[in-house]
Chains A and B, each alone.
Chain A
Amino acid sequence: MKFYECIQKFFEHKFENNQSYDINKRRDFLNKFLHLGIPTTKHEEWKYTNLTFLDDLDFNFVHDNQKFLSNNLLAELEYHDFSEFYFVPIVNGFYLDSQATLNGFFDVQRINDESVFSSNGSLLNFERFFNGNNPFSFLNLAAFSDSVFLQIKDNTVLERPIVLQYNYIFETSSLSNTLNFIEVGENSKVSIIILFKSNNASKVFANEYINLHLKQNSSIEISFLQYDLSNLILLNNLNVVCDIGVFFKSNYFSFETQFVRNNVNLAFEGINSTAKLNGVYIVSSNNFVDNHTMLYHNQPFCTSDEDYRGIINEQARSVFNGKIYVARGAQKTNAYQSNKNILLSNEARVYTRPQLEIYADDVKCTHGATAGFLDQDSLFYLTTRGIGKEKAKALLLSSFVSNNLERVEQSELRNILKELVAKKLNLENIYFCSAINELSKV
C-alpha cells in the first residue's frame, strides 16, 4: 500500500497547487491508474513480471526543478564516448536545456500540458497506447514532470546521432516520469541514442515514455543503452506510429539491469514500411529484464523483423513477450520474430512467449524461441586449441550475440557496445584483435 500512498502524496505535493499543470486531466489519469492498480502476475501482460516489491518502496518526492543540481552532479553528465554527438539531457525528470547541444536541423522544446492534452495535441496520435495493458501509462500521464518535443525537420539527414540521456542522480528514493515526443519529418533520416545513467545512490522508480511519429519516407535508428543500473526500476516505454514508406530500427541493449521492462508498441499506419527490432541482454545476479513488443500491422505491404538474444547467468531472469497483430486487410504482411537465450546456470530463468494474432489471409509470419546451454562440441573445439574453458565460453557467448551487435548501424555506438560486451564477458583481449583485422586489410 505504501506505493499508492507515495503516489498520492507525490501528486498532491507537485501538481495540486501548480498553475502550469492541467490538474483535472491529470487527476482523471491518476484515478485510472489507482483504479487499475499495480498489475499482478494474474495480468496477462505481467504474468512473469512480479512487481510485489513495489509495495515496500518508500519514495521521497521532495525535489524541485534543477535546484538540486550542484556543479559536481552536472560534471557527471558528460559522457565521453559520445561527446561528438548532439546532446539532450534529461536529469531527474527534467529537460536540462542549458546543457543541451543542438543544431538548426532539429528542434527541442519543452511543452506544456495544453499542447500535450489539447484536442489536436501531441498525445493525440498515441493515446491508443495508453491503456489497461500497462496501468503505469496512466501514472505517467498523471505525473509526468516534464515533456520534451524533439522535432527533426522535413528533408533532413542528420549525420551525427542525437543522444537523449536520462540521468538519475537523486539522493533519496525517488520517482521519475517524463513524457517525450519525437517527430521525424518527411524524407528525413536520424539516429537517436537513448542512454540511461544512474548514480545508483538511491532506489529510483522511472516510468519513461517516448512517443515517436515517423512521417512519410523517414528513417530512424533508435538505440537504447541500459547498463550498470543496479538501483533503478525502469519501465521504458516506446510508442511508435509509422506513416507510409518508413524505416524503423530499434536496438535494445541491457547489461546488468536490476529491473528493466522495455515496452515497444508500434503501429503501421501506412503501407510499405519496415520495422526491425534488435535486442541483446546480458544479465546475472538477481537481475531482471523484460522485453515486451506489440506490433500492429494495420496496413498491407509492411515488414517487421524482431531478433532478441539473451545470456542469463546466476539467478537472473528474463522475459520476452512478442505479439504481432495483423489486421484484416493487412495483406502481404511479412513478420519474423526470433528470441534465443543461453542459460549459464541452473537457477537462471527465461520466459519467452511469441504470439500471433492474424486476421488477414495472405501473410508470412514466423516466430521461434529457444533457451539452452552452450554447445559442448563448440566448447571442446576451442579447448583443443589451448583456449581455457572460461575464455572459450566467453568466446562462444560473444559469438552468440555478435550478429545482433553487427546490426547496429551507428558505428561509434556499435564499437562501444562491442567493448561493453567484451568487458562483460571478460574478453578485453579478444576484441583488441579488431586492430589485427584492421591491419590485415592494409
Chain B
Amino acid sequence: MEILRIENLKVAIDGKQIIKGLNLTIHSGEVHAIMGPNGTGKSTLANVLAGKPGYDVIEGKITFLGKDLLELEPEERARAGIFLAFQYPVEIPGVTNANFMKTAVNEVRKYRQLEPIDAYDFLQMMKEKASLVGLDSSYLNRNVNEGFSGGEKKRNEIFQLAMLEPTLAILDETDSGLDIDALKIVANGVNTLRNPERAFLVITHYQRLLNYIIPDFVHVMYNGRIVLSGGKDLAHELEAKGYDWLKNGNNNGVN
C-alpha cells in the first residue's frame, strides 16, 4: 500500500530554495534511507514532512495515506501517523516523560476515537517500550530530555516512536552523536518496530547506521534533489567513493 508520495517538491527558507524538485514514493513495510552531504536539504525534507513552521513550499505535492499532507497542522500529521525523531530533541524541564507521553498518547487516541488509556495499562506499556531501548523505569519520572546524554535523547526519540506507533517514522540523523553501543541499541529498537504496515524514512549522513538498519531503498540527495536511487548496496558504494564522487559529476544522475 502506498503511504507517502512526494511529487516535484520545491521548498524555500527565507527566499532561498533548498529543495529543488524532489520525488519520492514510500510503500508500507519499506525502509528508505536518504543519504547525502551536509546542506543538501535532507533535514529540510524531514521538517517539511512534520510540518515545521517557517518553510515555504513553493511547488509540489505531498500525499500521505491519500490526504494532502501540506494542509495539515503538525499535530494533525502526528495523529494521522507521521512521526519525526528529531536530530536535536528539545529539553522540557518540569514535564515528566510519563506526563508527556500520556498526553501525547491520549491525544492520538482521541483522534482515533478511542477512550483515554487506563493508568495501569499505560504504565505497563511505558515500561515495556522503555525496555526496548534500554531505558529503565526511573526514566519515566525524569523530565523530558532534561540532563539526558546525547545517547539517551536519541533513545528517548525511539521510545516515543514505539509509544505512538506511527505509520511513517522519519529518523533525522538519529545516529549523530551516538557511540557504537548506543547506535546498536537504537537500531535494535527500530528493527523491532519494523512491520508490514509501517514504513521508515531514515535520514543519515553516514552509511554506519545502515549496517544495523538494513534499508530496502537508498536515495542519494544532492543540491535539493534525489540524484541517485538504488538498493542497500548503494550505501556501501557511497561510503567507499565519498560524496565527492557525486559532486564531481561522475554519475549520470547528477546534473
Contact = CB atoms under 8 A, between A and B. Distances in A.
Contact of B78 (A383, A436, A440): A383
A439 B106 contact: no
Contacts of B106: 429
Contact of A440 (B108, B140, B164): B140
Nearest to B122: A436
Contact of B93 (A387, A403, A437): A403
Given A380-B52, A386-B104, A402 B123 contact: no
A430 B103 CA distance: 7
A156 to B, nearest CB: 35
A402 B77 CA distance: 29
A388 B53 CA distance: 15
A386 B89 contact: no
A27 B89 CA distance: 65
Given A433-B99, A435-B119, A385 B104 contact: yes
A400 B100 CA distance: 15
Given A384-B51, A395-B100, A402 B94 contact: yes
Interface string B109-138: 001000010011011001100000000010
Contacts of B111: 386
A362 B232 CA distance: 66
Nearest to B94: A402
Contacts of A382: 92, 100, 104
Nearest to B99: A433
Interface of B is mostly: helix
Interface in B163-199: 164
B108 A386 contact: yes
Given A378-B90, A436-B102, A437-B141, A395 B95 contact: yes
B53 A384 contact: no
A112 B142 CA distance: 53
Contacts of B41: none
B50 interface: yes
A64 B84 CA distance: 67
A441 interface: yes
Given A387-B103, A430-B103, A400 B94 contact: yes
B74 interface: yes
Contacts of A400: 94
B44 interface: no
A395 B75 CA distance: 15
Interface in A370-392: 375-378, 380-389, 391-392
Interface string A400-442: 1111001000000000000000000000011101111101110
User: Which one of B89, B111, B119 has the highest number of Cβ atoms from chain A below 10 Å of its Cβ?
Assistant: B119
Given A396-B92, A439-B120, A433 B98 contact: yes
A429 B103 contact: yes
Contacts of B102: 430, 433, 436
Contacts of A403: 93-94
Given A386-B107, A436-B102, A381 B95 contact: no
B68 interface: no
A377 B92 CA distance: 11
A398 interface: yes
B123 A440 contact: yes
A18 B106 CA distance: 65
A395 B98 contact: no
Nearest to B82: A384
User: Which one of A386, A396, A400, A429 has the highest number of Cβ atoms from chain B below 10 Å of its Cβ?
Assistant: A386
B86 interface: yes
A402 B95 contact: yes
B42 interface: no
A399 interface: yes
Contacts of A386: 75, 78-79, 104, 107-108, 111, 164
B83 interface: yes
A388 B106 CA distance: 11
Nearest to B86: A381
Contact of A433 (B75, B77, B96, B143): B96
Nearest to A376: B53
A399 B95 contact: yes
A399 B83 CA distance: 23
Interface of A: 375-378, 380-389, 391-392, 395-396, 398-403, 406, 429-431, 433-437, 439-441
5 contacts: A402-B95, A429-B103, A433-B102, A440-B123, A440-B127
Given A383-B75, A437-B98, 12 more contacts: A377-B90, A381-B89, A383-B74, A385-B160, A389-B73, A398-B95, A429-B106, A431-B99, A433-B102, A433-B103, A437-B99, A437-B141
Shortest beta-carbon contacts, A-B, top 5 = A402-B94, A386-B78, A399-B94, A385-B104, A383-B74
